[in-house]
Amino acid sequence: MSAVFAFSLGIALAFLQIGLGRSGFGQMLLSARPGLTALAALWLGVWGACYAFPSRPPRLLTGKTAAFASGLAFGMGLIPCIGPALSAILRLTAHSERALQLQGIAALIVYALAMALPFMPIALLWLGLLRKIAPSPRRAALLRGGFGLGVAAFALLLATDRIPLIAEWLVGLSDWSWVLL
């Protein structure tokens, strides 16, 4: 459970760094984003490949620290997908007086946590599913391999900068103007 929390915290921190764009630290992160994205894709590719094959993943790729790093990496990949609601929050903080900026920062923290927290019940369901099928090593290996291949595919999309195109397509499927109300 603590690894799931670490993963969720990593995702939240990745989203939170977007709101820091006006600060010096945020500017540094934004300028380093291409390199950080490449590093995130590499990490996720290795992580996914290790889970896709039947051998036990190296110790470096397991535990809370690896879960946190994986959450950060996933968050870097998901940044293009979080669009309209985050845009409204960033507009609130971008050109407003200090009180509204503080409200915007608070909203950004709540937003980042709200985006990350759903991963906790999903992970609990995943762990429950793994326990349920654990008596069948073949099915467990197939499920684990599918997970690993999915992570590796996400890493490939991240490395080739295809995620923004997918996000743009998904946003185009619906009218998001209600988010800005």
Q: For 57-76, what is each residue's pLDDT tens digit?
A: 677 777 788 888 888 888 87
Q: What confidence score (pLDDT) does residue 24 get? A: 59
- pTM given for the model: 0.68
Q: What confidence score (pLDDT) does residue 151 get? A: 87
Between 58 and 43, name the one with better pLDDT: 43
Average pLDDT, the chain: 76
Q: For 144-180, what is each residue's pLDDT tens digit?
A: 788 889 889 989 998 898 887 877 777 677 766 665 5
Between 128 and 156, name the one with better pLDDT: 156
Q: What confidence score (pLDDT) does residue 4 get? A: 79
Q: For 86-116, what is each residue's pLDDT tens digit?
A: 666 666 666 666 666 677 777 777 877 777 7
Q: What confidence score (pLDDT) does residue 156 get? A: 92
Q: What is the DSSP string of the chain?
A: -HHHHHHHHHHHHHHHHHHGGGSHHHHHHHHHHHHHHHHHHHHHHHHHHHHHSSSPPPGGGSHHHHHHHHHHHHHHHHGGGSHHHHHHHHHHHHTS-HHHHHHHHHHHHHHHHHHHTTHHHHHHHHHHHHHHHTT-HHHHHHHHHHHHHHHHHHHHHHHTT-HHHHHHHHHHTS--GGGG-
pLDDT above 70: percentage of residues in the chain:
71
Q: What confidence score (pLDDT) does residue 98 get? A: 67
Between 2 and 41, name the one with better pLDDT: 41
